[in-house]
Amino acid sequence: MRLETQETSGVSSPRNRLVFAYYVTGHGFGHATRVVEVVRHLILAGHCVHVVTGAPDFVFTSEVQSPRLFIRKVLLDCGAVQADALTVDRLASLEKYSVTAVVPRASILETEVEWLNSIKADLVISDVVPVACRAAADAGIRSVCVTNFSWDFIYAEYVMAAGNHHRKIVWQIAEDYSHCEFLIRLPGYCPMPAFRDVIDVPLVVRRLHKSRKEVRKELGIGDDVKLVILNFGGQPSGWKLEEKYLPPGWLCLVCGASERENLPPNFVKLAKDAYTPDLIAASDCMLGKIGYGTVSESLAYKCPFVFVRRDYFNEEPFLRNMLEYYQSGVEMIRRDLLTGHWKPYLEHALSLKPCYEGGINGGEVAAYILQETAAGRNYASDKFSGASRLRDAIVLGYQLQRMPGRDLCIPDWYANAENELGLGAGSPEVGMNEKISQMNLWSDDFDILHGDHHGLPDTVSFLKSLSEIVSEGGKSPEKRQMRERKAAAALFNWEEEIFVTRAPGRLDVMGGIADYSGSLVLQMPIREACHVAVQRNHPSRHRLWKHALARQQARGQGPTPVLEIVSYGSELSNRGPTFDMDLSDFMDGGKPISYQKAKEFFACDPSQKWAAYVAGTILVLMTELGVRFEDSISLLVSSAVPEGKGVSSSAAVEVASMSAIAAAHGLNISSRDLALLCQKVENHIVGAPCGVMDQMTSACGEANKLLAMVCQPAEVIGLVEIPSHVRFWGIDSGIRHSVGGADYGSVRIGAFMGRRMIKSTASTMLSGTLSNGNGTNQDELEEDGLELLESEASLDYLCNLSPHRYEALYVSMLPESILGETFVEKYADHNDAVTIIDNKRTYGVRASTRHPIYENFRVKAFKALLTSASSDEQLTALGELLYQCHYSYSACGLGSDGTERLVRLVQEMQHNRLAKHDDGSLYGAKITGGGSGGAVCVVGRNCLRSSQQILEIQQKYKKATGYLPFLFEGSSPGAGTFGYLKIRRRSSAKSVDSC
């Protein structure tokens, strides 16, 4: 519920003095600065407050001088550990939390229960220390949380990146929060499913002590000086401020500067205990990273905020959306921050008109609620505990991929939070009448000069979105307009030709991680696809974004080729929606830079690392084909392929991008060659060790057919018709999949280690030096066949070794696992160009080697079965092969709770008595792709009942986990079949505008 209050003069005092224990999380000063405002009002009301914190005393004592304030210096959680001022180290965060709060948990609880009883606490308040809630429960004291995020939500995505062995940390945190009485929720909040009841309050903002005029007078700054406050809570490492960073007439106040640091004359070092609210209110804008404190004070005092994204801190997108909604935010690219290209951002900030008019007395309101709760008033409802919904936060994590028309895959708690921010997307399905309407709408604006949209609804929808951008001109009556849409409106010269391409994702029916071992694979292009629109312009006619133009002007050069990219779908993910660079940055001494340098270039700013998938295609064309780009390039990327679901979202982006660039520059590249070039982007520039089947399917696939390819390296041997009685579905587990994750990479390394060991053994057997004690002599070598041993001694691909040879000669000599250091000492190298052995890590060898050898055999059998006569036996055998593949993945250590649950649900449905007596049935399922989460592939009879069973599984999974799985149904053509569209705005549309 939301508590509506009016500004009051203070919290009224009850009859008895109350004792509050207020626990403050160890993440930065932001929590302490908002806590102090609540504490101030509690003490004004006559109560005693014991603050448990790791923050410096001055944060509290500068605001509250009272004998009823007690500060206890204890750190009970560590928050998010930062690698630098702008980057959170996810693994280090989990490891430090384990050391700080998990290992000593028993002693912490014992100590806190004893302490709470000793001070006779009436209420425990947490912002937002998990163990405080459990300690309060053990002490028999009520607890309330006051926050805009909770650590179970923040850490959930970290677990996806760091590995499932950390999952128990998140579950423990969530369980601790479930002991809380209720949540006092602050604006800009994240989804927090652990709490059973919620009360919303206004912004908690520290009060002003001095006016703008007083502050400037004390600093000796006139009204004609433009003032920016640099508020990072610690500067990026190795960064040195320079005088040229500021435009003439500007002065910068620096928070948190080192005492030893010498600043330029136009930068002023502030004392560590400087009271920043007064300084923010006296400034013309603020430059820093987003946190609750900076955002709330920026909104409250109408100070425009130039912000730089903080990587991997999942609170940020929600605060950022609130900041931009009230027209108070300007995003600065990190490289422009570090290289001093501040001018266009500062000038843009001055043009903003911040419009937040909401309450800023959240501290007072929260204090009143806490007082009444401690005095016995029941603010909490009788709702069932939110603990049953905690799995939402774990299964889904932070990385919720948002695309228009895909709301069904978003849990209720997230949709509610999103809707309250006014960020809802479209309806989940588009009816046929609307599709026809869309065709009519876009066709009024553009002529198709080349190509065909093939009647694909998503292509028509994409063209319609281009029409809407043209008609809006980037303007909207809404107060908040998505930045990506504004940027797209200024991206193209709409009077010139635009090239449009489309590339689908893929469903891994069979083959999966055996591709890098040379297996036969069977892949189906899915209905969901990525669209890219591209335009080339002479640099003198290219409209640059302000910061890009300022960068060129600073170099004193004339117009030079620039790459500008807009990516749709970034608003609710922690990545920048735009990217730009000078194409000359790809050149060094007249030659293209190395892939390693490019990888480092994109890795500098993780919020823009996504651009490597798009811009990397340009460097690969330059390096591999010698293409030189003399014109500027503008790209709009819009992908409906969900990220992290194991359906090759990255390959779709790469293939669509390279196809569009090739079309715009008249490059004739075969679909196969284009796929191989795109693999280089992923392997060498992005740095993900994937095989080539993803890019090949996206480029060469055809609708309603399985692409059959032998990955040695990429030989398409045909397209397999999917029989009319057979159907494939993909079901998303909700657990994020990453081909760059440690599990996929370690299994790949294990397979290459196994190949190296097999080759070494075969070579030894050939040379006759293997001892008789191992069961082999020269006669046996002759019987086995010298030719076979020779081929195995030079084995290029594991999949060229047959299962029976593997079992007869090699399985016994392969270890179950091996330490990286031990392997390197004996074999030197595993001969895989895209992975690196960690000497301190143990790798599974036998299972990782066995999987591709047997998988190749299973795929061949699966392909043969698809072309055999229709029968129940055929479907049963197809399903059994999928199950075998799934359990082989599991033996390698791949998989997730979600995919295991989905496969079990398919098995239960298959063997259900009722299912056996009707027309429909599902026959098998397996995890897909890289295997670190993602989706499962299901095979069944193509009939209505089977589709109904899939929907039943979808609902059962939601009931068990809180997450409604995304279903992948249907197929679509690959990029090669689609070709490209060349479109131009109609002259009639131009004349309408001129009227």
Q: Are strands 182-185 and 143-147 parallel, antiparallel or unpaired?
A: parallel
Q: Could you tell me where the DSSP H helices lie in 605-670?
A: 611-625, 649-664
Cis peptide before 14 (omega within 30 of 0): no
> Alpha-carbon distance 621 to 619, whole Å?
5
Write 463-468 long-range contacts (CB < 8 A, 24+): 463/500, 463/981, 463/983, 464/438, 465/638, 466/442, 466/498, 466/533, 466/636, 466/983, 467/441, 467/442
In 3D, which of 889, 850, 635 has the Cα closest to residue 751? 850
In 3D, which of 356, 357, 358, 374 has the Cα closest to residue 366? 374
> Alpha-carbon distance 338 to 347, whole Å?
18
Q: How far is CA 792 from CA 242, 302, 784, 866, in A?
A: 62, 72, 12, 31
CB-neighbour burial class of residue 628 (10 A; exposed 0-12, middle 13-18, buried 19+): exposed
> Alpha-carbon distance 572 to 643, whole Å?
13
Question: 211 by DSSP, 3-state: which?
Answer: coil
Q: Are strands 981-985 and 446-450 parallel, antiparallel or unpaired?
A: antiparallel
The answer to whether 930 and 717 have CB atoms below 8 angstroms apart is no
**What H or E segment, with its residue span, contains residue 628?**
none
Which residues have a catalytic role annotated? 694
Q: Dihedral of CA 274/276/278/281: which sign?
A: positive
Packed helices 130-139 and 105-119: angle between N→C axes, nearest 10 degrees: 60
Q: Give 685's DSSP letter.
A: I
> Alpha-carbon distance 748 to 754, whole Å?
10
Position 156: which residue type?
Answer: A
Q: Dihedral of CA 928/929/932/933: which sign?
A: negative
Question: 357 by DSSP, 3-state: which?
Answer: coil
Token reading at 750:
């294990």
Q: How far is CA 803 from CA 747, 850, 856, in A?
A: 19, 8, 9
